[in-house]
Structure 1
Amino acid sequence: MKQIITFLILGLSVCNDLQAQVDGVQKLEAVILSDSKLKNYASGVKIEKLTDSILRNNAISLTNLLAFNSNIYFKENGAGMVSSPSFRGTTASQTAVVWNGININSQLNGQTDFNTINTSNYSSIDIRSGGGSVQYGSGSIGGSIHLNNDLKFNNHSETRLKTGYGSYNLKNIGFNSSIGSKAWTVNLGVDYVDSDNDYKYLGTNKINENGEFHNLNMNVNLGVFISNKDILKLYHQSYMGERHFSGTLVGPSRAKYEDENFKSMIEWARTTGKFRSQLKVVHLHEMFKYFENKDKENYSLGKVNTILVNHNFNVRFNEKLQFKTILEYSNSKGNGDSFKEPVRNMFSTTVLLNHKPNNLLGYGVNLRQDFTTGGERPFVFSVDAVFDLFEHYQIQINGSKNYRIPTFNDLYWQPGGNLDLVPESSYQIDLGQNFNYPNFNVKLNGYYINTKDMIQWQPNITGLWSPINIGEVASYGAELEVKSHYTINKHQFNISGHYSYTVSEDLETNKQLIYVPFHKGNLAMAYNYKAVTVFYQHMFNGDVFTTADNLKGRFGSLKSYDVGNLGCRYTFFKNTKNELEAEVVLKNIFNEIYENVAFRPMPNRNFNIQINYKL
């Protein structure tokens, strides 16, 4: 941390000297993207960018943001507890989370807990559907979520303060400041959330006991032009949280879980004519302490530190043809009560090609070879194409081979780890149709995913749970995305919606996987007139099975449910320097009784009040 602070001070101290040097020659874009390959090497891939207004309407929780504004299904062990996605019928460990171009899924369990990610920390969030292992590595089978801190290189100074209070004694406070010029930019942010989380279990006389949580997020992002060709960038984020794991309808809990995640990256980028080189050095730290009894000092510990070095070299031959190579090395060292001190070294080499030979066609070809500790050498590829057939009609198609390597828990957990596991292997194809009009956009996609050597934890003949390569799963379905916006005089209307039909079958039993709904949909509507904004969000999740034999009823499935949120935002004053607004949101306004994990009810009707001040 001391090195980060020193780097920040040094960067600010030289900004004034650099200003005169850069003003006359810098011709790069005012906004520097943190992950350029997401924009430049995915012509035939479905990507949804969540706008600023959507992020504001779903502040704090990444789970709620994506559940109400994407095709992704989530299961939570109660509000604020562990949150896991199912993207196109795949598992949580088959969805990659990418932070500024770097895959940050846990080395321990291969997943990311979406309730540990605060949306206030990011300038934009993108959803990339389909396999992406060539570009983003292990776990990118169903899709990937991209958390971006884009750097603005223009003259600006903006500070935002926010504070909020809600049901179950929910308190949050946040600070975010961004300042900069054409030569340098700095963004600082701090967010704190705390809740008793003692909501009522509707239809019972029970409450959510032992469910309190609090967490702190801090981030700093810095960019400095050291010449007209060179830029240094720093990204850092810290998360520290404590959650008491709540019980269920049939049993109490006294467990507590403490975790911390630190992410730091320094990047040097150099642009000379047609060539662009990027060198990234990354440190990722994850640690947890699990207390079976929160009143005792005994706990189990697990942690991993990863050092990663990534080099990108991009050649833009002309406006229609570009080529990129990526070399990446990572070293991960673990330490824990259940897996001792495992070490994993990984090296990968990747080549990406994007070509647009004419105004009607664009395509990409991508290859990747990995070398991993243990002799694993996954080779993956992808091809994609886009056809602009008419002014408002476009076809996208892509196919790929993807993979997921066993995690530290899979290999080394004692007792039960299995050193004989091999990586999961997956093939997928996706066909999309886009209808684009000035105020109306429709995307319709169909896909098929076949995954072999699925890693599943099962009890052996002695009753000990252990992972084995046994499963083969086929996931296929269709997705619909609709967005529309209109302005009539000073009245603004925005409507967006998603629907997905998903089949995800175990090919041995021909049964639907647990916690994968056949049907999921959502609808978001917003109206703005002068100082007033009103928005409504609705989410529908169909029935899900909770047992592998697909039994129906209380002990084999969960019923479908509808949840609606209603919000109103009022701006008291707004000028060039200052802005004050207040927001009230009513969640689960219909007081729906629902669970997305068996015997773990979700909250009843509740509210949140937010005050935001910009200066």
Structure 2
Amino acid sequence: MKKLISIVLIFCATVGYAQRDSILKLDEVVVSDTRVKQYAEGYKVTVLQDSIIQRTNGLLTSLLAFNSNIYFKENGFGMVSSPAFRGTNASHTVVVWNGININSQLNGQVDFNTINPFNYNSVSIRSGGGSVQFGSGAIGGSIHLNSDLLFKEHFDNQVSIGYGSYNTKKLNYNQSYGSKSISYSLGVNYNASDNNYKYLNTDEENRNGAFENLNLNWNIGYVLSQNQVLKLYHQTFIGDRNLSGTLVFLGRSKYKDNHYRTQVEWGHFGAKATSKVKLAYLQEEFKYFENKDVAINSLGKVSNFLARYSSDYKLSKFFRVNYFLEYNNYKGAGDSFGSPKRDDFSATALIKHTISSDLVYNLSVRQDFSSDFSSPLIFSFDGKYSLTDNYKVKINASKNFRTPTFNDLYWQPGGNLDLNPEKSYQVDFGNILNIGGVSLQYNGYYISTKDMIKWLPNNEGFWSPININDVEIYGAEAKLEVDYPLGKNQEVGIKANYAYTVSEDKSTNEQLIYVPFHKANGTLEYRIADLNLFYQHLFNGSVSIIGGELKEYEVSNLGVTYSADILKKDLKYTIGVTINNVFNTYYENVALRPMPNRNIQTQLILNF
């Protein structure tokens, strides 16, 4: 109770102080989440911009598989997709949508094939523990989807039309408008596919794999005064997909899921302090049909009401403080897990010390209060030091956590009410070398997790979660970027990532399932004037599975795009063709679920 009273007093004092700040004119761009930019100096952060996003097939899984160190398990193309970030489970990667954690309270995950990256200004990948800032589950890392608002005179439209093998269709429309007082963006995306690709070396094909989904993103901001802005973000996802079978089982099931996310944010920008109030409502719901041809189904849904107050205050030239209070109310209802409820409250404080332009570090601490669990006090430290103009080092260390979800506790059959929250400690050391157009980054890390929650088959024949006593993870990552001009209007670009990961259950000294020791990817790009040629290559090492091993595989994509202006530059078009799996490789990243063979994707983008 004393802790709570202290937190409330700090909150009230900060509100009063922030209101006394002098008026400060707003910047043209109001970003959706400043914490990744202002309080992450010691972390590895990779930002994927429009040019990379637009060449993907419209699924976040494909974008990250070829441009990050994250390993993905897909139950076939377009099916359920879950990540393994730095050797952790799928529920240890947090997805942050415009500043808030959107991981499911049912299974603790986000299905990355339900996220269309075309709707966002950028996609950021933050490696390492982040529970202090982003809450339960941020142990392996976090993915940030950013919709930034531009308060500047503009009116931009983009239409993207794509068609490919297996009757795969995609249609995207994005609009952005802005003035000095108002800004909005709209994104509508439709993806569909028969998804009936042939299984290589067999007479079979991917049956029951058809899917279609619709994404809507709408964001608006209004400048109330010279130092106040009101913003609204909304996202709707409507998905309808059959669930593919395997090599030994013919699929006949179907899954419908809808996601609704709305948040309102009021911001006050002073000369020294910025205060923000967020209110958000998130809802996910699903219907599962064991037989798609029969109306009988099981259903479930969960909602989350979130309220957050945050303040960012510049104490002096050298010190900056950010703290926020957050309340979450979760309510669930489903055929397989009843009607659970949970109330969570958290208080977080961060301090940034800029010793010089070369040396910066951050300290942060967080305490959670939950109606279901006793949560630990957690902390983090990160810093950056520039030894020379070309070489800098980064370090971060943190304590992180994950609380059991509704499925973990209440799912029937299989739920386990005796589960403990996970606790994790980690340290990460990074080096960055920049020479001319060459950038090389190397990171080594260590993670120790106690009471990791793992779903495994039990003696009764169904899956159930248990706490694994101790999991030890360590590894190394390397990232290379090269931009080399060849002459007038010609350039070569190289981007490459490599990860070595050991993730062991200490009770057995065995690698966790679906965690490859080695993963690498790279892109070679050649640009001449408006013509762009690119080659992508992905290597996934072998992984352990229950009762055996899934062998390694390599898959490559080859593509070309051409851009030009017409109608006095009022209209710009880009046409592109990509051959996916160009060498027609047979591969599985989940056992007995083959991925597509060679296929073609075409695209036309109009900007006006």
Q: TM class, shorter-chain normalised? A: over 0.9
Q: Percent identity?
A: 52
Shift of 1:38: 0.9
Q: CA deviation at 1:438?
A: 3.8
Which residue identity is paired with 1:612?
I
What is the correspondence of 1:335-484 to structure 2 with a 5 Å cutoff?
A: 335-460=333-458, 462-463=460-461, 465-484=463-482
- 1:105 maps to a residue whose letter is N
> SS of 2:65's equivalent?
helix
After superposition, where does 1:11-160 map in structure 2 within 5 Å?
Answer: 27-160=25-158
CA separation in 1, counterparts of 2:131 and 2:565?
A: 47
Q: 2: CA distance between counterparts of 1:109 and 1:230?
A: 38
Displacement of 1:492: 2.3
Deviation at 1:462, TM superposition (A): 4.5
The answer on whether the counterparts of 1:233 and 1:267 sit within 8 Å (CA) in structure 2 is yes
Query: Does the alignment pair 1:246 with 2:244?
Result: yes
Give the Cα separation in 2 of the matches to 1:64 and 1:73.
Answer: 11
What is the match of residue 557 of structure 2?
565
Letter in 1 for 2:42: G
Residue in 1 that maps onto 2:520: 521
Q: How does 1:201-220 map to 2 (within 5 A)?
A: 201-220=199-218
Q: Does residue 295 of structure 1 match 2:293?
A: yes
1:179 to partner: Cα distance: 0.8
Give the deviation of 1:468 after TM superposition. Answer: 2.4
CA apart distance, 1:377: 2.1
User: Which SS does the other structure have where 1:318 is aligned?
Assistant: coil
Q: Is the 8 A contact 2:304 2:331 kept in 1?
A: yes
Contact 2:26-2:269 at 8 Å conserved across structures: no
Match of 1:581 in 2: 574
Residue 477 of structure 1, CA deviation: 0.5
1:226 match: secondary structure: strand
**Cα displacement string for residues 467-526 of structure 1 (whole angstroms, at most 9, x for unaligned residues):** 222342111000000111133311122210000001001101000111111110011122
The reply on whether 1:537 has 2:529 as its aligned counterpart is no
Q: Contact 1:108/1:304 (CA < 8 Å) preserved in 2? A: yes
Task: Give ranges in structure 2 of 5+ residues lacking alignment.
Answer: 1-22
Secondary structure of the corresponding residue to residue 57 of structure 1: coil
> Is 1:225 matched with 2:223?
yes
**What is the distance in 2 between the residues matched to 1:435 and 1:320?**
26
Distance 1:546 1:600 in 2: 13
1:379-398 deviations in Å (ceiling 9; x for gaps)? 21001111111111101001
Q: Which amino acid aligns with 2:287?
A: K
Seen in structure 2, the aligned counterparts of structure 1 residues 568 and 460 have a Cα distance that, compared at 3 Å, is: closer
TM-score (norm 2): 0.94
What secondary structure sits across from 2:418 in the alignment?
Answer: coil
User: In 2, are the aligned partners of 1:68 and 1:522 still within 8 Å (CA)?
Assistant: yes
Question: 2: CA distance between counterparts of 1:359 and 1:458?
Answer: 50
What is the match of residue 18 of structure 2? Answer: none
Mapped to 2, the partners of 1:389 and 1:531 lie a distance apart of 39
For 2:244 and 2:236, how far apart are their aligned partners in 1? 25
Q: How does 1:547-562 map to 2 (within 5 A)?
A: 547=546, 556-562=548-554
Structure 1 equivalent of residue 177 of structure 2 = 179
Question: How far has the Cα of 1:59 moved from its partner?
Answer: 4.5
Q: CA deviation digits over 1:94-146, x for unaligned, max 9?
A: 11111111010000000000000001111101000000000000000000011
Aligned to 1:495: 494
Structure 1: distance between partners of 2:464 and 2:551 = 31
C-alpha separation in 1, matches of 2:358 and 2:121: 32
Q: 1:416 to 1:558 in 2, by over 3 A?
A: closer
| Structure 1 residues 581 and 458, CA gap change in structure 2 (3 angstroms) | closer
- 1:336 maps to a residue whose letter is G
Can you list the C-alpha shifts for 1:133-171, whole angstroms capped at 9, x where unaligned?
Answer: 000000000000111101112111100111111000001
Contact 2:282 2:305 in 1 (8 A): yes
Q: Distance in 1 between matches of 2:265 and 2:45?
A: 25
Stretch deviating more after TM superposition (275-284 or 182-191): 182-191
Residue 601 in structure 1 maps to residue 594 in structure 2: yes
- Alignment partners' CA distance in 2, 1:583 and 1:237: 28
Give how far 1:464 is off.
Answer: 5.2
Contact 1:126 1:147 (8 Å CA) reproduced: yes
1:341-367 C-alpha deviation (Å, 9 max, x unpaired): 100100000000111112331111000
1:267-320 alpha-carbon deviations (Å, 9 max, x no partner)? 000012101100000010101100000000111101001100011111012343
State whether residues 26 and 226 of structure 2, in contact with CA within 8 Å, keep that contact through their aligned partners in structure 1: no
Q: How far apart, CA to CA, are the structure 1 residues paired with 2:592 and 2:553?
A: 15
CA contact (8 A) 1:455 1:471 kept: no
Change beyond 3 A, Cα 1:529–1:465: closer
* Aligned mates of 2:358, 2:172 — CA distance in 1: 47
1:591 is aligned with what amino acid?
N
Contact persistence 1:59–1:119 (CA under 8 A): no
Tell me the distance in 1 between the aligned counterparts of 2:588 and 2:352.
45
User: Which residue identity lines up with residue 386 of structure 2 in the other structure?
Assistant: D
Distance in 1, Cα, partners of 2:178 & 2:167: 37
Distance change >3 Å, CA 292–CA 141, structure 1 → 2: same
The answer for the alignment partner of 1:12 in structure 2 is none
Comparing 56-65 and 464-473, the one that deviates more: 464-473
Cα distance 1:82–1:415, how it changes in 2: closer, same or farther (>3 A)? same
1:461 CA drift (Å): 5.0
| CA distances 1:307-343 after superposition (whole Å, capped 9, x unpaired) | 0001111101234321011100010100000111100
Distance 1:367 1:344 in 2: 23
Give unpaired runs (5+ residues) of structure 1. 1-24, 548-554
**How far off its partner does 1:460 sit?**
4.8
- Report the Cα offset of residue 466 of structure 1: 3.0
2: CA distance, partners of 1:526 / 1:532: 11
Aligned residues: 584
Q: List structure 1 runs of 4+ shifted beyond 6 angstroms.
A: none
Deviation at 1:43, TM superposition (A): 1.1
Comparing 366-375 and 191-200, the one that deviates more: 366-375
Report the Cα offset of residue 416 of structure 1: 2.6
| 1:71–1:462 CA distance, 2 compared to 1 (3 A) | closer
Aligned to 1:19: none
Mapped contact 2:448–2:470 kept (Cα < 8 A): yes
Query: Does the CA contact (< 8 Å) of 1:573 and 1:581 recur in 2?
Result: no
Q: CA deviation at 1:27?
A: 3.6
Give the 3 Å change call, closer, same or farther, for CA 527–29 of structure 1 in structure 2.
farther
Partner Cα distance (1:465, 1:69) in 2:
33
* CA–CA distance in structure 1, aligned partners of residues 373 and 592 of structure 2: 42
Measured on the aligned residues, the alpha-carbon RMSD in Å equals: 1.3
Q: Give the AA of the match of 2:105.
A: Q
Q: Which amino acid aligns with 1:497?
A: A
Do 2:49 and 2:121's aligned partners in 1 also have CA atoms closer than 8 Å?
no
Matched with 1:3 is none
Rounded to whole Å, the distance in 1 between the matches of 2:469 and 2:244 is 31
Is the contact made by 1:362 and 1:385 (CA closer than 8 Å) also made in structure 2?
yes
Q: 1:334 to 1:529 in 2, by over 3 A?
A: same
Specify the code of the residue in structure 2 equivalent to 1:605: R
* Structure-2 separation of matches of 1:31 and 1:534: 32
